[in-house]
Every structure is written in structure tokens, then in C-alpha cells.
Structure 1
Amino acid sequence: MIDARFGTDPRFGAILACVLLSSVAAPVIARAQAAPPARPVATAPAAPTPALAPAPRANAFSESVAALVNDDIISTYDLAMRMRLLMVTSGVQPTQESLPQIQRESLVSLIDERLQLQELRRVERDQKIDIVATDAEVNEELDGIAKSNNLTRDQFVGELSKQGVSPDSLRQQIRAQMSWQRWINGRYGSRLRVGEDQIKATQQRLAASAAKPQYQIAEVLIDANRTGGMPEAMRGATQLVAQLQQGAPFAAVARQFSSSPTAASGGDAGWVSQGEMAPEVDAALEQLRPGQLSQPIPVRDGVYILYLRDKRAGAGGLMVNLKQAALALPPGTSPQLEAAARDKLMALKTQITSCSNLEAEAAKVPGVVAGDLGEAQVADLAPQFKDAAETLAVGQVSDPIRTAAGLHLVAVCGKQITGEGVPDHDQIENRLYGQQISMVSRRYMRDLRNSATIETR
């Protein structure tokens, strides 16, 4: 069971304030970069920046226990180093208002990492396999992070040290992230399946929303289950919005604080259509202008912070493939004859199960002519057909439609969006897979937290 009173000891808060608030005015590494790096863990400048005040080891202040995780100790020094690492890599500045949020997020991250490594070492013992990343693998990841910032590993670690961050804190974070991702992907990755029906359903949903507003967004999701409830999630999100408004880089904040699968890409969610996200999020997006940051948006399991990069009327043109079954009826046909023709087509509609059997079923009805209308942009269709093409799902058949030539049943045999930014089959598959693997990981962590003995001091 978790004691959720993270960092409530006033003496401990005073110690951290003395150590951390001396660095309020100093630039941090994440603030010095113009664009987010390719790696998700940490960032560094291409040239040295003024350092934070040096962080003393335990002999400079009384080191004590910040938390116990199944009897595994997290010290106040561990927590202070993680708080510094979070500030340096996210650009969030320590103030009297933001310090509790920084402390809480740092402690939650350390607790999660301890739980992950404890679970992985248990699996290693039970199954006689190697999961936890080795020192060589951690160094290789550090090399990649440093290279993305035009530094060697030694230079990168030196920059962190100048900012008062222990390299061991970063190494622990990297080791836990790499190992946990390896375990989740290895255990569940091959079991998860993104079916063609899921991909087609997503394509159809995107096609149906092609005419709706489209938003290019970046997101931060604060998971209420992870932070200890909605009130804490709202408080944390409010503090993050204040820091973002003061200049903290959105991508760096997303990497450190967001629980969304997009965290690894700096919160970049790409283009989304109206209706794809929660109604509360849609309502907020409607009020934003490109370049604006939202206020915290509470949803069912957490709180969103959104940055609207751009907005457009639609993702592109909507292309449809249609077939029809028609009865010729010239203008001036009596209402009785038209009603009889309508009944005949409605009876035919019940026999059409898909586009593949439309022609065969139509051939059984005297006077009905069937044919493939081919592929066309919805915008180019006759007004009578346009509504059916936009609203019907693939495989559905319209009710009889009256035109000057007669009555028509129209079947939608295919839909696709054309235009820039439209995700293709593989992109949709990867997005759905990422959502599934993220959900598995979050549920796994929830179960570990619920079964653990976690005590904070």
C-alpha cells in the first residue's frame, strides 16, 4: 500500500529549499537548446552554461530516508539529485510554488524505477534470463544522448556535474527506462496484435472526419493514478503551465512529466481531428489559436496540457469509391409509380450485404441497372450523392436517392483521405501498437504499486 504523502515533512522541504533555490536564476541545460534532441532522456547545450550551485553530498546536510520501497531505501540525497536532474532536463525552474511539484514528480519517478528494477531482478532470478541493462548498454545510450547534443559522453557528464547533477542519477534513470521497455516489449510485444479491422476502422474514422477541423498539437498528460489523485494532478498541471508560460521548453517538459505514449517524442501528437480526443479536449482546442498553450484540462483519468501548433479546415480531400443500383424514373412520374419503385429498391437493399454482391442481387430485380461509379472526390459528386458519400461507412448502402434520372441506391465501397499529413497504413498501425503497449505498461505499474509496501518520510 502506498502512503501518498510525498514530501510533506517540513524539515525535509526546508533542506531541499536551501539546496535548490540557490539555483533559481541560473540557466538550465534544457533552456539552452533550440530544438529537442532525438533521445528522450536528457538534453545538454552545445557550449557550457553557468552552473547551478554545487550540490553537496550527505556530509553537507543530514542525509536521511525519503522513502522505503519494499525495504529499498530512497535517500534524501537521491531525491535531491533527481530533482536537479528533472530541472536541468525539463527547464522547470525551482520556486517556492513549483518546488512541491518538482519534489513530488521526482519522488514518484524514483519509486517507479525502484519497483521496476525490483520486478525485473525477480524475473531474472525466476526465469534465469538477463533483462536489466548493463553498464555498457547504459554507456552506449549515454553516448547517443551526448552525440545528439554535439558532445562526447565525458563532456555531457561534465556539463551535468557543473549543474550540480550526479551522473549516477541519470544512469539510474536510463537503466530503468531501457530495462523496463525491453521487458514490456519482450513479454507483451509479440502478443499484441493490431488487426486489419482496427486499422480500417481508424482509416474510416479519419475519412469520416476529413471535413472537420484538424489540429496539430503537442500534449502533456498527467496521470492521476500515478500522482495520487485528480487534485494532485490538477495542482501539478497548473504548476507546469506556469513554468511553460515562463519559457520552459514544451518538449522537455513532456519527456519528463507526461504519461502519454507521445512523451518519447516530446509530446508531439501530430494532426488530430475533431472528435478523436475526449470531449473536454475538443472543447479546449476550439478556443485555442495556433501558438497558444491551454490551461489544464481535466479528463477521466488525468489532466491534459495542450500546445496548438497549427489548425486547418481538414486533413485533405475525401476520396470515395461508389457503386449504385438504379431504376429509371423520368420527371413527372406519378407518386404511385415512384412509391412502388422506392419499395422495390428498399427490398433490394435488404439483400445487399456488401459491395461485392450488389450487382448480382440487382440483376435479380427487373428494371434495375447496377454499376461501378468508380472513385471520385466527394467535392466533385452531385449534391444528391454527396451527403451519402460523407455519412455512410464503407460497406453501407443508402436509402433510395431521387435524381432527375430516377431512384438510386448508392453503396460506399471505399474511403480514403488525400492530402498532406494523412497517416498511411503503417503509421496508423504503429500508433495503435504504441497505444496498446503503453496501456499494458501503465497497468503493470499500477499493479506493482498496489501490491508494494511504499512508505514516504
Structure 2
Amino acid sequence: MMGLGRIAGTGAKWLTGAGVAALATMAIAQTTPAQDGQSGVNNGLDLPSTLEIFGKADPNVRKPTAIVNDYVITGTDVDQRVALVTGMQKLTLKPEEREQLKLAMLRQLIDETLEIQEAKANEIKVDAREIESSFSRVGARFQKSPDQMRAWLREIGSSERSIKRQIEAELAWSRLLRRRVNVNVGEAEVKAMIDRLTAQKGTDEYHVYEIYQNATPDRAKEVSASMQKMIEQMRQGTPFDYLARTYSQSSTRARGGDLGWIQPAMLPEALSQAVQDMQPGQVAGPIPLSAGFSIVYLADKHKVGVADPRDAKLSLRQLSLTFAKGTTEAQASTRAAAFAKATQTIRGCGDVSKVAAAEGAEVVDRDNIVIKDLPPALQNLILPLQVGQSTQPFGSIEDGVRVLVICGRDDPPAAYTPSVEQVQEQLEDQRVNLRAERMLRDLRRDALIEYR
């Protein structure tokens, strides 16, 4: 298993929750050596033995990549959406990874086109002012004004048009669903769900993400090796849900592999055992299954119906001791030991400044820190501490040594069984999502899509 600090969205929806970039074309000369046995097979054409190709070998630029019911999706559209994803996530991709992402973004653009077309066929219109308002809200999420957002999009190689296309699709599709999808959840179903939640109170529940790939016996080694490479990409910082959206063959692919909160019994035995042995933030796999392999990421876990102590909010004072450049490991260990001994005398936040002055440490105050937002190892240090107590020193020679003192603690409210209205809303949302997936699948099946 490996640790994974956080999971980040890539092709995520903007609402749940200026110009086109210039493409410089360079003339490139490529030399193709004559192949054995081909010199006499010219089909009557007067061809040179050495071919020199002029112009960039990229037919995708400014040319159609797909035509969806007469709507053209160009290579520029795909490139700008790729730039949007990589810019948002600060990703540096290898050439083969970029090509995979291009395919994923092409699929997303096709789906968006189908959604917009179906909404228009049902006389659903999205006003330009609504799109602009949503664009402004997206910018605000990134602490940018609309003009700053436009400039930033150009800077990363994307465009305002690309993100507004996605916004239009979301608005149009959500309105179509509200008009076309009617779900009924009966009282008996709601009561059964509440009874089940009550019976499960205190049992463990896990928030799991997956990447699944089919594998016939003759391809098992190939698929397993491919998934090992995915894990290596995660170690290098590639977000799990980017890989899930790009490579997974599960129905959870569109959600970045998100299985939601589930109990072990709901998983295949091999996955169930792996998940129960994991800590939040860890990845396990490839795990062999009956028809393929899975990689799983444990985002979080909790006990059903029980308040999670990691939801507590803390007020902290941090003492930081840094080491001068060139400090040896032995010297750092000696200073760290003395620092640790001094911090053991702290009996509350009032002692922090005195100890810091004596040890030459810096003090920083931090409020409203949620325990579960800290690294897992640090969570384990802090959970048993009471107000006025301090952690053991932690850190490294490069980053220095730190100690955290608990100055205040607001424990989370007691967990409660969701209300009838909340359960009914959740069940309705699940059914709407299933219906939406079926509608989109039908649109894909009936569409005239021509790839170029």
C-alpha cells in the first residue's frame, strides 16, 4: 500500500460545487528511409527514394476531431479542455499520458454536445447572462475576477469559450432532467433505509475510490503491469481521480472512481479485505478479481451514526525550530533532543512564548484546524491530546522540527440519524442520477458521431 495525500478533481463539474490560445505551427522536416522490398512497388507513381515532409505532422490542429450530429468538435477544442484540466491541477504529463487525457476530454466534449443538443430539442434555452454569472462564480472559487479568469485561461492555453461550453451543458442538462425525470420514493422505502441505518450504527463505513480494468487470462500480466504504472504515477503526484476518469472501465469512471460511502460487505471479498486493512490516504493494488484488476483508494472511514473525533476543530500554537544550512544529522539530533526536552515543560499555551524564546524557536498561531485535514501521522499524534498538551517533536533536517500545542478544541456535534426528508432526497438523487446515465447512454447510441 502507498499513501496518497489528497484526491483532486479533473473533469469535475463546475456548478456542483477570452480568446483562443494561439497555436504556432513550425515547419518540420522528417526523413523516412526507403524500406527493403518497396523500391519497385510505387503503383506507377514517380516517388523519390527519400521523402522530406514539410509542415507540422499534426492534422488535429484546427481540423475536426469529431462531428456530433453535424456539430464539429475540433482539435483546438480538445487541446483547450486538456489545458484547462492540467492548469487547474498543475499537472505535468508525459506525452502518452497527454494523449490519454485528450481521449478522455474528447469523450467529455461529445457528452456535453449531446446534452446541449437534447436540451435544445426540448426547447430548453440557457441565457448568455446565466452562463456569464456562472463563469464569474467559477472565477470567484479561484479568487479571480472575470477578467483575471479570462487572462489566466489564456495563459494556460485554454479559453473562456471552453469553460463556458461546459457550464452551458451543465445548466441545460440539469433543466432537462428536472423536466423529464420524475421519481417517486415511497414511505416504506424511506422507513426501510432509516431502519437499516439505525441497525448499522457503530459499524465501520469506508469512502472508497476505484480504478477497474477488465483482463482476460491471456492479458492478465499486461493489465497488471499497466496498473502498476498507474500507481507509480500516483507516487509522482498524479491525482487518483484523473487516472480513474482516463483509464477505469467501471461505471464509476465518470465520477472519478468514487464509490461513495460503503460497507465492506458491499464489495468483492478481495477488495473488502484490502479496504479494511487500509488507513485513509492509502492506495492498494492491483488487486486481482474474477474478471480483472482493481486499484482502490481509501479517502476516509468512520463509524455509522457516531460522531467522528477527527471532525473536531482545534486552536493550535506551533513552535518551529529550523536548522542552519550545513547542519549535520548528529548536530540536528542533539538540538532536536534538547528542543523536545524543553517542550515537555509546556503546561499550556501560556508557556509557549517563554520556551520558544529560550530555544530560539518561532511561534505561529493557527485557528479552526480540522483534525482530519492534517496528515494521517499527525492526526494520530493529536487525537489523544487534551487542551494544554503538546505533541512530540516532528519534522526533518531540511524542514526543521515542530511541536504543536492544543490551545482550544471544539468537538463535533453528536451524530444523528438523518431525517425522513434527508433520506428521501438522497434516494431521489440516486434515482435521478441513474436515469440521467441511461438517458446519456441512449443519446450516445442514437447519435451520429463521425471521428476524424
Q: Is 1:272 equivalent to 2:272 in the alignment?
A: no
Residue 112 of structure 2: aligned partner: 113
Q: In 1, Cα distance between the equivalents of 2:425 and 2:294?
A: 23
Return the letter of the residue paired with 2:204: P
Aligned to 1:212: 203
CA separation of 1:119 and 1:104: change in aligned 2, threshold 3 A: same
Deviation at 1:75, TM superposition (A): 1.2
Which residue number corresponds to residue 185 of structure 1? 178
Structure 1 residues 38-59: Cα deviation after superposition (integer angstroms, max 9, x where no partner) = x94299xxxxxxxxxx953486
Instruction: Give how far 1:91 is off.
Output: 4.5
1:41 aligns with 2:14: yes
Instruction: Describe the shift of the 1:148–1:112 C-alpha distance in structure 2 as closer, same or farther (beyond 3 A).
Output: same
Partner deviation per Cα, 1:181-227 (whole Å, 9 max, x = no partner): 11112221xx2122222222222323333353222x25367899xxx
- Give 1:82 shift: 1.6
> How far is the alpha carbon of 1:295 from its aligned partner?
3.9
User: How far apart, CA to CA, are the structure 2 residues paired with 1:179 and 1:300?
Assistant: 40
Give the aligned residue type for 1:86. V
Give the CA RMSD over aligned residues: 4.5
What pairs with 1:99-248 in structure 2 (closer than 5 Å)? 99-124=98-123, 131-188=124-181, 191-215=182-206, 217=207, 219=209, 242-248=232-238
Matched residue, 1:282: 272
Alignment of 1:16-31 (within 5 A): none
Q: Deviations over 1:402-446 (max 9, x none)?
A: xxxxxxxxxxxxxxxx95375443332222222111111110011
Question: Do structure 1's residue 311 and structure 2's residue 298 form an aligned pair?
Answer: no
1:56 aligned residue (1, 22, 46): 22
Code of the residue aligned with 2:235 in structure 1: it is: Q
Task: Specify the alignment match of 1:352 in structure 2.
Answer: none
Counterpart-to-counterpart distance in 1, 2:448 and 2:130:
30
- Residues 113 and 176 in structure 1, CA contact (< 8 A), matched pair in contact too: yes
Q: 2:433 matched to 1:443?
A: no
Do the aligned partners of 1:290 and 1:310 also contact (CA within 8 Å) in 2?
yes
Q: In percent, how many aligned pairs have the same letter?
A: 28
Aligned match of 2:449: 454
Deviations, residues 149-207 of structure 1 (Å, cap 9, x unaligned) = 2221111222121111111111111111111111112221xx21222222222223233
Counterpart CA distance in 1 for 2:227 and 2:125 is 32
The amino acid that maps onto 1:195 is G
Q: CA deviation at 1:246?
A: 2.7
Between the aligned partners of 1:313 and 1:212, the Cα distance in structure 2 is 5
Amino acid at match of 2:155: K
- Which of 285, 292, 295 pairs up with 2:282? 292
| Partner in structure 2 of residue 5 of structure 1 | none
Residues of 2 paired with 1:157 and 1:100: CA distance? 26
- Pair 304,421 (structure 1): closer, same or farther in 2 beyond 3 Å: farther
Please state if 1:84 is matched with 2:83. Answer: yes
Structure 2 residue identity aligned to 1:292: Q
**Is the Cα–Cα contact under 8 Å of residues 126 and 168 in structure 2 kept in the other structure?**
yes
- Structure-2 change in CA distance of 1:107 and 1:205 (3 Å): same
Describe the superposition over 1:345-378 as per-residue Cα deviations: whole angstroms up to 9, x where unpaired.
xxxxxxxxxxxxxxxxxxxxxxxxxxxxxxxxxx
Q: Decide whether aligned partners of structure 1 residues 153 and 298 sit closer, same or farther in structure 2, where only a CA change above 3 A counts.
A: farther
Q: 1:447/1:175 Cα in 2 relative to 1: closer, same or farther (>3 Å)?
A: same
Work out the CA distance in 2 between the residues paired with 1:143 and 1:451.
35
**What is the match of residue 344 of structure 1?**
none
Q: Residue 151 of structure 1: SS of its match in structure 2?
A: coil
Alpha-carbon distance change, 262 to 96 in structure 1, aligned in 2, over 3 angstroms: closer
Question: CA 1:250/1:143 → structure 2, altered by over 3 Å: closer, same or farther?
Answer: farther
AA of the residue aligned to 1:427:
Q
Q: TM-score, normalised by structure 2?
A: 0.54
Structure 1 SS opposite 2:450:
strand
What secondary structure is seen at the aligned counterpart in 1 of 2:95?
Answer: coil
TM-score (norm 1): 0.54
SS in 2 for 1:290: coil
Evaluate the alpha carbon distance shift between residue 198 and residue 187 of structure 1 in structure 2; reply closer, same or farther with a 3 A threshold.
same
Question: Which ranges of structure 1 fall in alignment gaps of 5 or more residues?
Answer: 1-32, 44-53, 125-130, 225-232, 318-417
Aligned to 2:190, what secondary structure does the other structure show? helix
The 1:222/1:197 distance shift into structure 2, 3 A limit, reads farther
Return the offset for 1:247.
2.5
3-state DSSP of counterpart to 1:197: helix
- 1:134/1:42 CA distance change after superposition, 3 Å: closer
- Offset of 1:250 from its aligned partner? 5.5
Distance 1:246 1:57, change over 3 A: same
Structure 2: stretches of 5+ with no match in the other structure: 1-5, 27-55, 215-222, 308-412
Aligned to 2:66, the other structure's residue is in SS state strand
